[in-house]
Amino acid sequence: MEVRCANINDVDGIMSLLYQVAEVHHNGRPDLFKGGCSKYTVEQLKNIISDKQTPVFVAVEDGKVMGHAFCVVTTTDTNGVLVPHKTLYVDDICVDENCRGKRIGTELCNRVKRYAKENGCYNITLNVWCLNKPAMSFYKAMGFSEQKIVMETLVDAD
């Protein structure tokens, strides 16, 4: 298995994974997430892959994309209460449901950590939905901890 930067030839494999991620969210919160769709279109994905500020890493074996990690380099605003710093935000990460248990996610996370260090990032952040308990456990095992928590209450339709 090789973990590397994505290229245009990886688009079909990445799109397949994006549909898998969308289904996990749809199954857990159909009130918020549509089924049978992808977070990005093919054209959006091509633009993301070609942008140096949004590195996408893929785990590939025998030409098959088995996992991906979408990242975005951000910096805090110099105005306000936050100390200026550079963050690598993981926008999306997925391992093909048929390839789990092979340390692919671990290798992707290790590559993301290396990239963050090589590019002078202070930290790596990501969001995870509470509905995705396996992902939450995985991120904790990879050294992530809660930074902030978003809470909600549903508004009664009556």
pLDDT along the chain (158 residues), means of 10: 97 97 95 94 97 96 97 86 92 95 97 98 96 94 95 84
127/117 Cα distance (integer angstroms): 20
Q: Output the pLDDT for position 77.
A: 75
Q: Output the pLDDT for position 115.
A: 98
The partner residues of 65 in beta bridges, in order of sequence, read: 60
Q: Output the pLDDT for position 158.
A: 62
Q: Output the pLDDT for position 157.
A: 63
- Which domains are delineated in the chain? 2-141 (3.40.630.30)
Q: Output the pLDDT for position 20.
A: 96
109/103 Cα distance (integer angstroms): 10
For 150, phi then psi, to 5°, come to -95, 130
Q: Output the pLDDT for position 80.
A: 82
Instruction: State the alpha helices, DSSP H only, in the chain.
Output: 11-28, 42-50, 104-118, 133-141
Q: Output the pLDDT for position 149.
A: 93
Exposure of 66 in the CB half-sphere (CA atoms within 13 A): 20
